[in-house]
Amino acid sequence: MSGKSSSAKTAVKMIQEAGARATVARIAVLRVLLSADHALAHGDVEQAAHAAGDWIERVTLYRVLEWLVDKKLAHKTVGLDRVWRFNAHYQTVSNHAHFNCTDCGKVYCMESINPVFALTLPPSFQLQQADVSLQGLCPCCNH
Ligand SMILES: [Zn+2]
Ligand SMILES: [Zn+2]
């Protein structure tokens, strides 16, 4: 896991490469997403940003998260509890599976699992995006 300063540098670089201005809020939110090992709900992002000393208004936080998704710097997925969660998105990662822990409720991006639906789709259907949901126990809950 990268430290605070290196993830900040990565965040700035990712935002600038997307052709956008690296504002304080954008850097702070993306940095939180980059340093998390699982997808985060709005409240989780808010808490982590505050813990890092970045006070972002809730309205701004919501807007920045949607902006990051829009710019493809992050993506969102809905968990078993119907809560949207966000995770940073390196542009090379496209389709992947999401692992929902049925105990602690954390959602992990399984970026090494690339669903190959294209092979099984009927003729004339073209896949644009896939979100596979897996359920089970995460390493912390799987004693
Ligand atoms: Zn768990
Ligand atoms: Zn994901």
pLDDT per residue of the chain (143 residues) written in tens, 0 to 9: 444 567 778 999 999 999 999 999 999 999 999 999 899 999 999 999 999 999 999 999 999 999 999 998 999 998 889 999 999 975 455 678 899 999 999 999 887 777 666 567 888 988 777 778 899 999 999 98
Ligand 2: distance of its center to the CA of 88 in Å? Answer: 8
Taking the C-alpha atoms of residue 111 and residue 44, their distance in angstroms, rounded to an integer, is 21
Domains and CATH numbers, the chain: 4-88 (1.10.10.10), 96-136 (no CATH)
Among 67, 82, 80, which Cα is nearest to 33's?
A: 67
Going across the sheet that includes 40-41, the strands are 40-41, 84-88, 74-78
Q: In what order do the strands lie in the sheet with 107-110?
A: 107-110, 96-101, 131-136
Ligand 2 center–CA 87 separation, angstroms: 6
Q: Which ligand ends up closest to the CA of 105?
A: 1
Total-model pTM: 0.81
Residues 130/117, Cβ–Cβ less than 8 Å: yes
